[in-house]
Amino acid sequence: MRSPALIALLGSCLAATFGVAFAHAEDDFMQVFLNHAKVLKLDRPVAKVIVGNAAVADATVADAKTIVLTGKAFGTTNLVLLDASGNAMLDERVLVSIDEDNTLRLFRQTERTVFSCTPACEQHQALTSSSSN
């Protein structure tokens, strides 16, 4: 029979390990919030902009050295920028997520509702779910 203290210690170690792994995984992504834009300033002109999944993010050329990346749906995709010679200037993974600083989550049994509170709290339809486990 296993000791409850040993099981608790093992659980804490696993949580710490996975928490650190998750934090590092987010560092591998260029992050943009849903329905927000991020300006990317380049050191040389871009010739071609490619977004892996246009349903998740959109990239627009503001001028030859400025790209505007906009989060359209939750998820991940990638962004590739090519120069006039076809060389990759940038090849980054993009994570579109919610701005956690301005949200409120309400849990009722298996139902989860998320409110976006900027400045007043309003229910965010895309984040309302009911678990079917």
Range of the domain at 109: 100-130
Number of domains in the chain: 2
Residues 122 and 62 grouped into a single domain: no
Report the CATH number that the domain containing residue 72 is assigned in CATH. 2.60.40.1080
Residue 30: is it exposed, middle or buried by C-beta count within 10 angstroms (0-12/13-18/19+)?
middle
Buried b (16+ CB within 10 A) or exposed e, 57-71: bbbeeeeeeebebbb
Q: Per the confidence metrics, is the pTM higher than 0.85?
A: no
Residue 76: is it exposed, middle or buried by C-beta count within 10 angstroms (0-12/13-18/19+)?
middle
**Separation between Cα atoms, residue 126 and residue 10, nearest integer Å:** 36
- Residues 72-130 have pLDDT tens digits of 988 999 999 999 999 999 999 999 987 777 777 788 888 878 777 777 777 765 554 44
